[in-house]
Structure formats: structure tokens, C-alpha cells
Amino acid sequence: MINQKRLVETFINLAKIDSPSKHEEKFRDYCAEKLKKFGATIKLDSYGNLFAYFEGVGEPIMINCHLDTVEPGRGIKPQIEGNKIVSDGTTILSADPKAGIAAIFEALTSLKEDKKQYPKLDIVLTLGEEIGLVGARNLDYAMLRAKKGITFDGEKSVANVMIGGPGYNQINVTVTGKAAHAGVEPEKGISAIQIVSEIITNFKLGRIDDETTANIGFISGGSARNSVPENATFQGEIRSRDKKKLEIHTEHFKDVIKEIQKNYPKAKIELEIVREFDPYAFSNSHPMLKKIETLLKELKLKPHLYASGGGTDVNIFQAHGIDAICVGAGSFNMHTKREYVDIKELTNTAKFCELLIKQAN
């Protein structure tokens, strides 16, 4: 039986272990030891992703979480306020992803108490999800037995079921102009910052339509207040749940840059486009989705199906033929110092996880 008090204690202990992106090894090793005590066989792939294998009957099922958190995520001091778990306000809480991991651990504890045999289970904890799904990208899929499963990485209730996610193009632009003294001979210079400004001004950004967004998130350039800046860069992204729309808006970015280049023939404008992942969508009749809906209804929870604008490990799993569906884990205001866990929702997540394993086949 799921024990709420034990579950909360587990989450608090997990939240106290620092695991920002690129520094999650200590937390990974802690999770490996916990899973080993549950009876799992532990393996790491060459990238460092964690696999925990449980033997059982029937087809294997995967349960996935990522290990890393965003910053500020060091020295977290979780505390209980009424029916919530919060940080002290100086850091995130790390409920993304640790609410999901706590739910997994509580489900495994409860199942171990039952002393019954359940299906084969692959628990996969990935590195570097928050910095571009790099753990899932570099996962050794030959080590994964399951072809279906669950990812705990959504916000709010476990009844929030993500049935679609966007494709994502990373945009990197480098502009090289010509330096000159800004007060003595500015006419001899070519301002890279001015060029960057014109490019960005002509981009269509923000909400393009209900499936597509674009953003410029980083700009850098110049060397001194009194120098015409020779170099400038910016980084952005384009997302869409429709692959054709993703390509169309990417072409818009290319066209803008071509037009601006005509105005500055002696400058150099370099555009790099990196496809991070493709969009995906589950049909309402997908067997894994139907399974999730059945389990939620058994818990007297009403499924809320939605398509997201955010990427998760599921984007990469889909490309490798793994039918994983992302659900919430009881966390709110993710990636902010206002992040919190709703204890009731966290308990529902653990109950769902336990039921999923019990009724996997």
C-alpha cells in the first residue's frame, strides 16, 4: 500500500541531493543503490544513463525519468507548508524530476511488501534532459528491453497526459562585421550588433499559431563601448507540433537572413540550424493511451489529454520506436523558485505507478 508519509520523506531526501545538469552523477549513483536494494540489476550505458532491470512475467514495460535539474538547484532546503512541499525560496524545489522518482521508489516499496511477481520492468533514468535531451539522445537502445512505457515529466496531476510534442530546430547565427573607432571613424566600421538587431526585428517571434512558436533566447556581441562591434551572435529556437510548419517557419528565418545580407555585402552572416528532435502525436485509440486512461479511471481520476509545446525524452524515444507517454507527477511552477509539490497529487502519482506495474500486461 502506498504510504504518503514515507513518500514525502523520500521526496525530501531526494530533493536535498544536488543534481544540476552535467553534475547529476552523485544523484544517479544514489538512485542506483536504492534500486539495487529493491532487487534490480543495475547497468550504465557508455553515456552514463542508468538502467535498472527487474525480472518478471510477460512483456517488459519501461518507466522513465530524467536525473538532472535546472539551476538554481544546489543546496535545496525542502519544507512542508500545509499540503505542499516547497523550497526556501532561494532555489527551485527539483520536483522536476524528483517527484516522479520518489513516486517510482514508493511504488517499488509497496510492491515489494506485496511479495508478488510482476511484469519485467526497465527503469531508465537519463542524464541531461534539461539541456537538450542529451541523455535520451545518447541512450544505448540495445540495452532497453521494453517497447512501451511511461515518462514522468509533465506538470501538475498524473492525469495530465501528454499526447503530442513539438519538433525543435536550434538556431545559431554568427555575424562578422568590421571594427572601427566609434568616435573617430565609425563610417569605416560595419556593426555586427546593428545587423543582428535588424535580423531579429524582421523575424516573426513568439506564438506563431496554436502549434508553432519561435524565440531568440541569447544575444552576445561587441568588445568596447567606443568600438564599432565586429562580432555578434545570437541563439534561438523554432518549435512546432506540425513538421511542415516547422520547416516553413525555418525557411522564413533563412529568407530574412538572405535579405539582410543583401544590405551588408561586406559582412558575413552564418546561420546554423540543428534539428534537435521531430514532433510526435499519439492517436486517441493508441493501446498505451487506452491503458493509461483505464488506470486513471480506476483511481477515480479524469484523464486530461493535451499536446505540449515542450520537448521531453519521449520525443527521442518515439524516434527509436519506443511508445512512451509522458504524464504529470504532482509538481507545479517547474523551473522557478516558486516550484512546489502537491502532496495529494504526488500520492496519486505513486498509486498510478504501482497500478501501472501491477496491470502492465
Catalytic residues: 68, 129
**Whole-number Å distance between alpha carbons of 357 and 114:** 13
Q: Do 226 and 182 touch, CB atoms closer than 8 A?
A: yes
Angstrom distances, CA of residue 52 to CA of 63, 144, 146: 10, 10, 12
Which residue from 295, 315, 345, 314 is spatially nearest to 65, judged by alpha carbons? 314
> Which ranges of 66-191 would DSSP assign to H, the alpha helix?
95-114, 134-137
**Whole-number Å distance between alpha carbons of 114 and 188:** 79
Q: Which residues contact 324 (CB under 8 A, 6 or more apart)?
A: 62, 64, 148, 149, 150, 151, 313, 314, 317, 318
- Which amino acid is located at 336 in the chain? T
Cα dihedral angle (144, 140, 133, 70), rounded to 10 degrees? 90
3-state secondary structure of 340: strand
Task: Please give the helix or strand (H or E) that residue 175 lies within, else none.
Answer: strand 167-176
| Burial of 158: CB neighbours in 10 Å, binned 0-12, 13-18, 19+ | buried
Q: Do 103 and 152 touch, CB atoms closer than 8 A?
A: yes
**Whole-number Å distance between alpha carbons of 258 and 269:** 9
Return the C-alpha cell found at 351.
498509486
How would you label 264-298 residue by residue, b for 16+ Cβ within 10 Å and e otherwise? beebebebeeeebbebbebeeeeebbebbbebbee
- Which amino acid is located at 232 in the chain? A
